[in-house]
């Protein structure tokens, strides 16, 4: 491991690369990691924040790393689904309690548990859970500052405290096995986003047509994507956090505009699944994505997007929907009904779901995990 670290450090500190160029890379990461997630008016209250975070980032590049195993089944999916029903909220709460007792680092668990506590007027507990969610990588602006529920409870003082937690105690993505992969991953996802937005916003003033420009953009980001996967493989969600891995998946989705040129991705996903670096949901969604983009029925029902028909989001066709839950159970995926409800996609008419049987299975799982 020491040899690999030294090798990577030599690669990063290439004598042909000037200190100014390296500093620019760090400035780029700082601007994308921190500024994007903090409202501008908060930044004015922290004049020394920028320089402090830059220093912290430099230190974190050389800190010892920690890793932890990934569980297969996503229990949060059950908790989120059950939380939508008043009669099953206590059951959802129990699922969250066990996840927290098991020291989960899934920020979604802490966000949902925080909402439960705020609803019970346990404001102090709710806020403590919210700080945990921030520590484990939730998106401050998207998940908290602009969330209608939390806006009812969070004041300016609370917001400043959360920003301090993000500054000093953030876990993700700094648990990456290779610290230098953080730089490459941020460069990849932001280049992709910037190029995509540029074409959308400024296509009228470009010499190329939008379609021609898009071909060139995909060529640029595909080269970056290939290089990233070759150097580091698929990013481990338990090291980078789900927010950043979602951004990586968005890069992949953009390339499915040319689906026939994406076959090479499968080997990297297969390796990641074998090494437990990717969740079953992300893995099987890739394979369903190939089918959907080729106008073929899904096999696993794992594609998270619905098609809009008459103002409603409907699921893309599934190959064997009558036996889909049996297949999904074998693959450690939640029932299709749960998956669709959590992603705001309507339930297809030719699909049946036994709520009573499902709830009983959840209770049995809880008993087994508690014992």
pLDDT digits (tens, 9 = 90+) for 256-310: 888 888 999 999 999 999 999 999 999 999 999 999 999 999 999 999 887 777 7
Per-residue pLDDT band for 23 (boundaries 50, 70, 90) equals very low
Distances (CA, A) of 212 to 180, 217, 250, 258, 331: 33, 9, 21, 13, 40
**Residue 362 pLDDT > 50:** yes
Which of 104-113, 193-202, 231-240 has the weakest average pLDDT?
193-202
Contacts of 309 (CB under 8 A, 6+ apart): none
On the question of a cis peptide bond just before residue 173, with omega within 30 degrees of 0, the verdict is yes
Contacts of 318 (CB under 8 A, 6+ apart): 297, 298, 299, 301, 324, 336, 348
Reported as a single tens digit per residue, the pLDDT across 47-101 is: 444 444 343 433 333 333 333 333 478 999 999 999 999 999 999 999 999 999 9
pTM: 0.75
Coil, strand or helix at 312: strand
For residue 265, give the nearest of 215, 225, 216 by alpha carbon. Answer: 225
Contacts of 341 (CB under 8 A, 6+ apart): 81, 84, 347
Q: Is the dihedral of CA 114, 138, 109, 65 positive or negative?
A: negative
Structure confidence at residue 66 (pLDDT): 33
At which residue do the structure tokens 């405290």 appear?
A: 161
Per-residue pLDDT band for 117 (boundaries 50, 70, 90) equals very high
> What distance in Å separates the CA atoms of residue 274 and residue 348, rounded to the nearest whole number?
32
> What distance in Å separates the CA atoms of residue 21 and residue 325, rounded to the nearest whole number?
52
Whether 341 and 81 have beta carbons less than 8 Å apart is answered as: yes
Per-residue pLDDT band for 157 (boundaries 50, 70, 90) equals very high
Reported as a single tens digit per residue, the pLDDT across 182-232 is: 889 999 999 888 887 777 676 666 677 777 777 788 888 899 999 999 999
Structure confidence at residue 205 (pLDDT): 67
* Residue ranges per structural domain of the chain: 74-102+291-371, 175-278
For residue 305, give the nearest of 270, 338, 344 by alpha carbon. Answer: 344
> What distance in Å separates the CA atoms of residue 329 and residue 326, rounded to the nearest whole number?
5
Whether 149 and 112 have beta carbons less than 8 Å apart is answered as: no
Mean pLDDT value across residues 125-154: 94
Structure confidence at residue 234 (pLDDT): 95
């Amino acid at each position: 491991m020491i040899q690999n670290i030294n090798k990577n450090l030599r690669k990063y500190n290439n004598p042909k690369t000037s200190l100014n160029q390296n500093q620019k890379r760090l400035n780029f990461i700082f601007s994308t990691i921190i500024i994007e997630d903090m409202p501008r008016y908060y930044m004015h209250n922290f004049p020394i924040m920028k320089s402090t975070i830059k220093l912290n980032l430099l230190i974190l590049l050389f800190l010892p790393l920690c890793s932890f195993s990934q569980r297969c089944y996503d229990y949060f999916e059950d908790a989120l689904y059950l939380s939508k029903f008043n009669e099953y909220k206590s059951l959802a709460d129990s699922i969250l309690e066990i996840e927290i007792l098991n020291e989960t680092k899934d920020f979604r668990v802490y966000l949902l548990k925080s909402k439960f506590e705020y609803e019970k007027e346990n404001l102090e507990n709710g806020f403590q859970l919210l700080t945990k969610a921030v520590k484990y990588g939730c998106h401050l602006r998207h998940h908290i500052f602009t969330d209608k529920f939390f806006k009812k409870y969070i004041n300016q003082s609370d917001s400043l405290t959360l920003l301090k937690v993000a500054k000093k105690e953030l876990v993700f993505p700094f648990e990456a096995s290779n610290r230098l992969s953080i730089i490459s991953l941020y460069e990849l996802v932001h280049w992709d986003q910037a190029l995509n937005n540029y074409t959308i916003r400024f296509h009228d003033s470009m010499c190329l047509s939008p379609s021609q420009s898009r071909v060139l953009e995909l060529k640029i980001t595909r080269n970056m994507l290939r290089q990233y996967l070759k150097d580091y493989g698929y990013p481990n969600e338990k090291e980078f956090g789900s927010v950043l891995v979602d951004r990586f998946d968005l890069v992949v989705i953009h390339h499915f505009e040319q689906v026939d040129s994406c076959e090479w991705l499968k080997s990297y996903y297969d390796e990641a699944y074998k090494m437990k670096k990717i969740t079953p949901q992300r893995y099987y969604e890739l394979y369903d994505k190939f089918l959907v983009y080729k106008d073929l029925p899904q096999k696993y029902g794992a594609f998270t997007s619905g098609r809009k028909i008459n103002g409603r989001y409907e699921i893309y066709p599934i190959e064997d929907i009558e036996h889909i839950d049996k297949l999904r159970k074998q693959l450690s995926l939640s029932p299709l009904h749960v998956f669709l409800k959590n992603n705001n996609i309507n339930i297809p008419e030719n699909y049946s779901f036994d709520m009573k049987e499902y709830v009983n299975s959840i209770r049995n799982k809880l008993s087994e995990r508690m014992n």
